[in-house]
Structure 1
Amino acid sequence: MLKTIHIQELKLGMFVQQLQGAWFDHPFWRSSFLLKDQSDLNKLLASNVEHVLIDTEKSLVATTPSGTLEHSVTGKSVNDAMAELRKREIGKPRAQHLSAAEEHQTAMKLINASKASVRHMFNEARMGKAMNAEEALPLVKDILSSIDRSHNAITSLVRLKGKDEYTYMHSVAVCVLMIALARELGLSDEQTLQAGVAGLYHDIGKMAIPDDILNKPAALSEDEFIVMRKHSEFGHAILSRSKQIDEVCLDVCLHHHEKIDGTGYPHKMNGSEISIFAKMAAVCDVYDALTSHRPYRTGWEPGITLHRMTQWTGHFDAHILNAFIKCIGIYPIGSLVKLKSGRLAVVIDQCPTSLLTPVVKVFFSTKSNMHLEPQVVYLSRIGGHDEVIGHEDPRVWGIHDLHTMWANG
């Protein structure tokens, strides 16, 4: 039987089935575990978690009856009960929209908390342990909540990653982009969560790739690339022997490198054979890879990346790519743009009513070749007195710290 108790009623010997709170409000990667260490109990009592779902059948001590019980399930398996709880959670009304600036701190906290957890998940795969998608759901749900409040915040911030953490944070980024794209495409809540989990696990097969190839600080040779291409099949094998992994996750892991013209890998599938989820993953995976800095190359500016992706005929599904551009913006947050006035600006937020009039921070005059006092301009509110006329490459202008102008809240 499952019971929800107040955190102060928690005792050693109880089996914690779920920590009911924001995923990053507690220090535990696994949300289901037997509480047998006093230090773990102390951490929970000191956390922001208020209620805990207990499995009384798996607990070693009796659960004290309490007037604060909020949920009890009898006659059902733990999995059935958890499935019911998930349906209740994702059926809740969506959160109110916030600006990117308002969601910034929460999104950053979530991204930072995800690093150690995803690293742990990948290390377990490297050691041959089975994956369990249920363990990824708290993270995916919190990402979904952040996107529902303001998808512009986390989808832009997750692009910033250290060169030595790319493998792990790329998976978080693809998860974020998959969820945002699923929302843009109008997929159901359940499908959106499936897309997010699939994005998180899509590159799990890279844990079977030798370190000297996976972490090579230079472009791969042809022979090394042949080995690297096997990661999708390795990942599918890892997930096939894991728990609670659905067909969407397996499909995305195996087919996110397929192309609609049939030249992708591993099965050279054509567009009609590739699922919508694999088509989504193809776009999200390539976008994040191209905009990320790597030891052997500098990432492309996001707006320029989108433009180049539209020119790759035969690679992406046009409907999916167009939805992605609408989701991220014609001028994504963090893009360097030139205005009709001759000023350079960085995009700091999107306008909810028009993709052509983002919120920008002006900082440089190309006419006088001088830096300006930074000024936030809402292009949708100035009656056409200034407008974006195109993307600019920061490297051409000798700008190497563009992210500091928009990523610091």
Structure 2
Amino acid sequence: MLKKIPISQVRRGMFLSSIEGSWLNHSIWKLRFVINDEETLARVRSCGAAECWIDTSQGLDVESAPPVVQSVRAPAPTPTTGVRKSMGDELQNAANVLKRSRTAVNSLFAEARMGNAVNTSECKPLVDDIVESVDSNADALISLCRLKLADEYTYMHSVSVCALMVSLGRQLGLDEATCRDAGMAGLLHDLGKAAMPQDILNKPGKLTDDEFTIIKSHPAKGYEMLLESGVDNERVLDVARHHHERMDGTGYPDKLAADDVSLIARMSAVCDVYDAITSNRPYKAGWDPAESIARMASWQGHFDPTVLQMFVKTIGIYPVGSLVRMASGKLAVVVEQNTKKLTAPKVKVFFSTRSGMPLLPKLLDLADAQVQEKIVAREPAENWNFSYLNDLWSNHIP
């Protein structure tokens, strides 16, 4: 029988079914388990929630729970101490991180394809580099990741999701260790694709039903590969297996109900899809970032709506690289976010729709009170043949 109790009454031997309130207001990642040791008990009691639900048919009730020693409250999350850099100042460092990442991830997948164990300790320096870049200016690395070539998608997608997971974790207020675990989980989430047939993985067209069935096996395969490699990080394993689960229970491989999908898996679902649909693939060009966010928001039952909302705060309503129409009728590309006002990023105006002619590019900070321009709409990039949009915001970073 389910029973709601104050979090202060939680004891060893109880079966924790759920935490009362939003996922964003407590620190428990995985639910539906028996509290069987002091460490777990301390974690539940200090999670930040006021009440929880226990299942007395699977564990002890309040009256029958054994007395325990009062545990020390867990320390508060440690805030990041890095100084935020401007987009321009961080772009070159982000480009260097991306170059190193390309080599490291290619090697990781090559080892996995040969059936060799994955050494996650060798991935840690890469995750550290990505965390440092994200903390300096998340837009820089995340935006450069989107420029990956179609034929390197499988490898660099992992780096992109790593960066997005760290950035989203920061936005959610998760502690340092959890953010780094989220980054590692993002880096390794698609490892199972190393075991997929390359001709199916890179097929320049729609997959057949049989081919799609094969591809859908990659989360379970990646989970198995990580276990066989001795990986015991619960968050990394969870994301590898469950990044394709959906809130309406139609995901794979386990068709989990929403209550059984952990917060970190919900995060990975959003980050994975966003990078996938904004990237160039062998069979399609990537969608505009702002258009991608709008489409994701329309997919009922796919994502946790609160996590998606926080993701939008992470990358902006108009992510870097988005094509937008100004009130004057001019077109601009978003070059940097304004974290205090998501509707007023920095943009580079470069084209007049009235004259149909390009303009000398001009940088505008829409948050500046002296600037009269404002964004009135997303502009579908497919309606124009601008081959130089990426150059406008990236300043030709190699």
TM-score range for the pair, normalised by the shorter chain length: 0.7 to 0.9
Aligned equivalents of 1:237 and 1:351: distance in 2? 42
Report the CA distance shift for 1:166/1:285 in structure 2 as closer, same or farther (over 3 A).
Answer: same
Report the CA distance shift for 1:245/1:159 in structure 2 as closer, same or farther (over 3 A).
Answer: farther
1:294 corresponds in structure 2 to 281
1:73-222 equivalences under 5 Å are: 94-222=81-209
1:10 corresponds in structure 2 to none
State the identity as a percent: 47
Cα offsets for 1:145-183 (capped at 9, x unmatched): 111111111111111101110100011111110010001
Aligned pair partner of 2:360 in 368, 373, 376: 373
Aligned equivalents of 2:332 and 2:343: distance in 1? 14
Aligned equivalents of 1:206 and 1:312: distance in 2? 25
Amino acid aligned to 1:201:
L
TM-score normalised to the size of structure 2? 0.78
2:16 corresponds in structure 1 to none
Deviation at 1:92, TM superposition (A): 9.0
**SS of aligned partner of 1:351:** coil
Which blocks of at least 5 consecutive residues in structure 1 are unaligned?
Answer: 1-89
1:229 corresponds in structure 2 to 216
Q: Which has the larger displacement, 385-394 or 300-309?
A: 385-394
**SS of aligned partner of 1:146:** helix
**SS of aligned partner of 2:324:** strand
Which blocks of at least 5 consecutive residues in structure 2 are unaligned?
Answer: 1-76
The question of 1:264 aligning with 2:247 is answered no
The question of 1:338 aligning with 2:345 is answered no
Deviation at 1:302, TM superposition (A): 0.3
**SS of aligned partner of 1:199:** helix
Q: Which has the larger displacement, 378-387 or 90-99?
A: 90-99
Aligned pair partner of 2:263 in 276, 295, 298: 276
Report the CA distance shift for 1:93/1:331 in structure 2 as closer, same or farther (over 3 A).
Answer: closer
Aligned equivalents of 2:222 and 2:387: distance in 1? 36
Aligned equivalents of 2:258 and 2:250: distance in 1? 10
Cα offsets for 1:329-387 (capped at 9, x unmatched): 00000000001011100000011320010000000011111110000001111446110
Does the CA-based 8 Å contact 1:132-1:245 persist in structure 2? no
4+ long deviations beyond 6 Å: none
Deviation at 1:399, TM superposition (A): 1.6
TM-score normalised to the size of structure 1? 0.76
Aligned equivalents of 2:348 and 2:295: distance in 1? 24
2:296 corresponds in structure 1 to 309
Amino acid aligned to 2:105:
V
Does the CA-based 8 Å contact 1:133-1:243 persist in structure 2? no
Name the count of aligned residue pairs.
320
Aligned equivalents of 1:357 and 1:92: distance in 2? 26
2:315 corresponds in structure 1 to 328
Aligned pair partner of 2:345 in 358, 362, 368: 358
Aligned pair partner of 1:396 in 371, 374, 383: 383
Amino acid aligned to 1:108:
A
Aligned equivalents of 2:79 and 2:377: distance in 1? 40
Aligned equivalents of 2:285 and 2:369: distance in 1? 35
Deviation at 1:244, TM superposition (A): 4.1
Q: Which has the larger displacement, 150-159 or 191-200?
A: 150-159
Does the CA-based 8 Å contact 1:394-1:402 persist in structure 2? no
Aligned equivalents of 2:248 and 2:316: distance in 1? 26
Aligned equivalents of 2:233 and 2:362: distance in 1? 48
Aligned equivalents of 1:221 and 1:273: distance in 2? 30
Does the CA-based 8 Å contact 1:133-1:245 persist in structure 2? no
Aligned equivalents of 2:259 and 2:80: distance in 1? 34
Aligned equivalents of 2:116 and 2:375: distance in 1? 51
Deviation at 1:107, TM superposition (A): 0.2
Aligned equivalents of 1:382 and 1:395: distance in 2? 32
Pairwise CA RMSD: 1.4
Q: Which has the larger displacement, 309-318 or 350-359?
A: 350-359
Does the CA-based 8 Å contact 1:363-1:372 persist in structure 2? yes
Deviation at 1:91, TM superposition (A): 6.8
Aligned equivalents of 1:353 and 1:91: distance in 2? 22
Amino acid aligned to 1:181:
L
Deviation at 1:216, TM superposition (A): 1.4
Aligned equivalents of 2:331 and 2:88: distance in 1? 21
1:40-59 equivalences under 5 Å are: none
Amino acid aligned to 1:156:
S
Amino acid aligned to 2:278:
T
1:14-29 equivalences under 5 Å are: none
